[in-house]
Structure 1
């Protein structure tokens, strides 16, 4: 067993755990990291690894929100169980658009879009989108807070999440869930960020930052489990195989992604209660510019 390859995989897991839930594109970062830190594996295994490592991240969501997502929790009454089943229905509904488009076009999109240029452009475009949307929400907040007849703006409190009529997951309608799912289709392009696209959709459709972030986490469960299963099936159907060393490499990445995701999710949920997403927008733009400079100037 090569300890260097395990350390590389652990680093990949660190990147995955940090970037999967922050709206900065985990797949985009993994593609970029591969330019500098390459696992000594076949191309087929790497393409499979890139998706399956997300299982560690998604297990963190299942653990952290187990009670909220568990319809069989003994502490829930009939109303609570009914609401939980309804939430799962909205989650599955929100996954339909991405599945309908992503499954048949998966191989084609990997061939044409999985490259640093597409990643960089997506980082920049959606970074600008975050800044513009949050600026619009800030103006709406100030307008709502201004007393009638006043000619000055009042500032929002530190824990103000901005405008949004959908303040809890119970307020999330089936129509809104489907709408957010349609935004998730955008994340099929690497560099967009699955969490970024669905959070943008949630904000535009009237969710607070907390609700948009939480529903984004929950949408990831069937999407990422399904994507991982599909990738494994296609890997083996095309004659792929891996031995003990590759298995340990994959498990190491998943384990690190799981632990780091627990910390990243907790941090993000605290962050969005007091801050907007502009900082992530700025980060995306800077990173996108640096990537373009690296591949076309340096």
Structure 2
């Protein structure tokens, strides 16, 4: 990985992490086209630069993180399912991250779901503030978030849909998804770094610089993306994201099978 590639991936991460279009899926696609998807450092990079994006959440919602102890307990309750499933299926998840077809199918299916989300849940809104989220609701949202371990599903998309299924408003569900990203991404980063060193890899000076640049770029871009997304979502809903996912998913499948056909010929 070179510096230009790290900046491109960080921009993609910053834009897509909090949108329901799958940051992991987009980075797998981008790194595959750049020919670096199979590198162990690339897999580490795509996880570690999430630290920059979660810092943007802390900065933007700084006061919310000091509202009550109950707030943290709810985040922990929602985070526990990801810990359990992550520990149980980490190797299978890593294997899926190398498969663009998995990403394409997930994007396509997720896009179809997003086209219907507002119709399914928008009329059932009862919870309009974070304080009214119960512990049981938090756990259920955490279970939905686990679906995002399949590359292309979208962590934010899964948790937002999970929140809306529990009668949260679009904005409340999105904001809880942002807050839940902090422990989830922090935990994923710690585990990925541990696994990286456990397998005998050591970061070079250049790789450390790439991680620093990636986190800084991801932080700045995510700041802009979150504000834009919340404003758009509250007014327009999910349909545009659904159509986008379907378009990218179909295009990726066509490209993949076309390349496979050329290889056979």
TM over 0.5: yes
Q: SS of the residue aligned with 1:223? A: helix
Name the Cα RMSD after superposition: 1.6
Alignment partner, residue 266 of structure 1 = 227
Q: Deviations over 1:202-258 (max 9, x none)?
A: 111101010000000011111100100111111111110121111111111111000
The residue correspondences of 1:126-145 to structure 2 (distance < 5 A) are 126-137=110-121, 140=123
Quick check: 1:19 aligned with 2:16?
A: yes
Q: What corresponds to 1:287 in structure 2?
A: 248
1:85 aligns with 2:69: yes
Of residues 189, 205, 209 in structure 1, which corresponds to 2:150? Answer: 189
What is the correspondence of 1:43-192 to structure 2 with a 5 Å cutoff?
43-70=39-66, 81=67, 84-112=68-96, 114-137=98-121, 140=123, 163-192=124-153
2:36 corresponds to 1:36:
no
Higher-Rg member (1/2): 1
Greater per-residue helix proportion: 2
Name the SS of the counterpart of 1:47 in structure 2: helix
For the residue of structure 2 that corresponds to 1:288, the secondary structure is helix
Structure 1 stretches lacking a partner, 5+ long: 71-80, 141-162
Q: What secondary structure does 1:68 align onto?
A: helix
TM-score (norm 2): 0.93
Distance 2:96 2:109 in 1: 18
Distance 2:105 2:164 in 1: 22
TM-score (norm 1): 0.83
What's the secondary structure of 1:91's corresponding residue? helix
- How many residues end up aligned between the 2 structures? 259
Q: Is the Cα–Cα contact under 8 Å of residues 114 and 190 in structure 1 kept in the other structure?
A: no
The unaligned stretches of length 5 or more in structure 2 are 260-265
Measured in 2, the distance between the counterparts of 1:42 and 1:293 equals 21
Task: Quote the residue 1:146 is aligned against.
Answer: none
Partner of 1:227: 188
